[in-house]
Amino acid sequence: MASPPPKQTMKERILETADKLFYLQGIRAIGVDTIAAEIGISKRTLYNHFPSKDALIEAYLQRRFVQSRPSDKPPAEQILATFDSLERRFAAKDFRGCPFVNAVAELGPDDEDRTFRNIAIAFKESRRVWFRDLLLQLGVVDAEGLATQLTLLVDGSIAQDLVRDDPAMARAAKEAARVLLANAGVKVGASAPADKKRPG
């Protein structure tokens, strides 16, 4: 019989609740009062774990900073699969865009020490470096430049989906990525049929 999952600590409960509310409703829209009330604790208890809202925002962004998992799949397949993952995410009802872009858009003017912006930059750069390293494995000459272009396709498809509410934007970005890879001398498989149905 499987053992029950470990019980969350209060700090984990606070962070998980903040994560959900910040992402779905906006960082500025959600105060610590709302987070504390959602959990059923006092503001004082929350501040015992996170001394300020800024500290909680920083922890939220760090929690969202997830690195790509190592894979045995061929590098080109890994690159193109990024856009398949995006299409699945776009189809989810709770998708609200990139949490890092959202945080910079909301907090940029008040982020005087650039704490939040620097976390966002580090995340975006980690994705670009992941692309670059895969491209180096493929022997691409300008791996740095192509990695930047692929990163722009990711961010562009996210923006397009937010405006259009159409997961097919990820599929269009994938086809553009396929062209970029082919132009760089990378052998890529055949593209998916153009009439593929939108995920439900």
| Closest-CA residue to 188 (of 88, 86, 78, 84) | 78
Q: What pLDDT does residue 104 have?
A: 95
pTM of the predicted model, to two decimals? 0.88
Q: What is the pLDDT of residues 35-63, one digit of tens each?
A: 999 999 999 999 999 999 999 999 999 99
